[in-house]
Amino acid sequence: MSTDVDLTGIVTTDIAAVTRGRFIASDTFEKTIATGVGWLQANLSLTPFNVIAHPNPWGSSGDLRLLPDPNARYRTSKTGSQTPFDMVPGNLVELDGSPWSCCTRTMLADALAELKAKTGLTLVAAFEHEFKLLDAGLPKEHVMSFAGLRRADGFASQVMAALDEAGLNPEVIISEYGEDQFEVTNAPCDGLAAADRAAVLREIVREIARTRGWKASFAPKTSPSSVGNGVHIHFSLVGADGQPATYDPSGPAGLSRAAGSFCAGVLRHLPAITALTASSVSSYYRLKPHNWSSSYTWLGDKDREATLRICPMVTFGGKDPAKSFNIEYRAADATSNPYLALAAIVRAGLEGLIAGLPCPQVHSGDPEELSEEQRVEKGLRRLPETLAGALDALKSDAVVTSWFSEAFLETFVGMKAFEMASLDGLDEEAICASYRAAY
Query: In this model, does residue 21 exceed pLDDT 90?
Result: yes
Q: Is residue 48 part of a domain?
A: no
Give bridge partners of residue 25 from the DSSP assignment.
7
Mean pLDDT computed over 35-40: 97
Domain count, the chain: 1
Domain of 327, in residue numbers: 107-438
Give bridge partners of residue 173 from the DSSP assignment.
184
What does the alpha-carbon distance between residue 132 and residue 148 come to, in Å, rounded to a whole number?
13
- % pLDDT > 70, the chain: 99
Note the pLDDT tens digit of each residue in 172-183.
999 998 899 999
What does the alpha-carbon distance between residue 307 and residue 300 come to, in Å, rounded to a whole number?
8
Burial class from Cβ neighbours inside 10 Å (0-12, 13-18, 19+) for residue 259 reads buried
pLDDT at 409: 98
Q: DSSP string covering 258-299, please?
A: HHHHHHHHHHHTHHHHHHHHS-STTHHHHS-TTSSS--BS-E
> Which of 45, 44, 40 minimizes the C-alpha distance to 62?
40
Q: Is residue 41 part of a domain?
A: no
> Which of 148, 145, 149 minimizes the C-alpha distance to 160?
149
Q: Is residue 255 part of a domain?
A: yes
Q: Is residue 206 part of a domain?
A: yes
Q: Is residue 388 part of a domain?
A: yes
Mean pLDDT computed over 284-294: 92
What does the alpha-carbon distance between residue 119 and residue 255 come to, in Å, rounded to a whole number?
17
Q: Name the pairing type of β-strands 37-39 and 64-68.
A: antiparallel
CA atoms within 13 A on the CB side of 168: 32
- The CA radius of gyration of the chain, in Å to the nearest whole number, is 21
Residue 175 · residue 145 · CB < 8 Å: yes
- % pLDDT > 90, the chain: 89
Mean pLDDT computed over 108-135: 97
Note the pLDDT tens digit of each residue in 213-262.
999 999 999 999 999 999 999 999 999 999 999 999 999 999 999 999 99
Element (H, E) at 185: strand 181-186
Q: Return the CATH number at 203.
A: 3.30.590.10
Question: Which residues lie below 8 Å from residue 402, measured CB to CB, with a gap of 6+?
Answer: none
SS3 state at 46? strand
pLDDT at 1: 40
Round the average pLDDT of the chain to a whole number and report it: 95
Residue 325 · residue 247 · CB < 8 Å: yes
Q: Is residue 12 part of a domain?
A: no
Note the pLDDT tens digit of each residue in 348-384.
999 999 999 999 999 988 999 999 999 999 999 999 9
Total residue length of the chain:
439
pLDDT at 12: 98
Q: 72-83 burial, b for 16+ CB within 10 Å, e for fewer?
A: bbbbbebbbeee
Give bridge partners of residue 124 from the DSSP assignment.
190, 236
Q: Is residue 53 part of a domain?
A: no
Q: Is residue 234 part of a domain?
A: yes
Note the pLDDT tens digit of each residue in 77-95.
999 999 999 999 999 999 9
Sign of CA dihedral 387, 216, 231, 288: positive
pLDDT at 3: 60
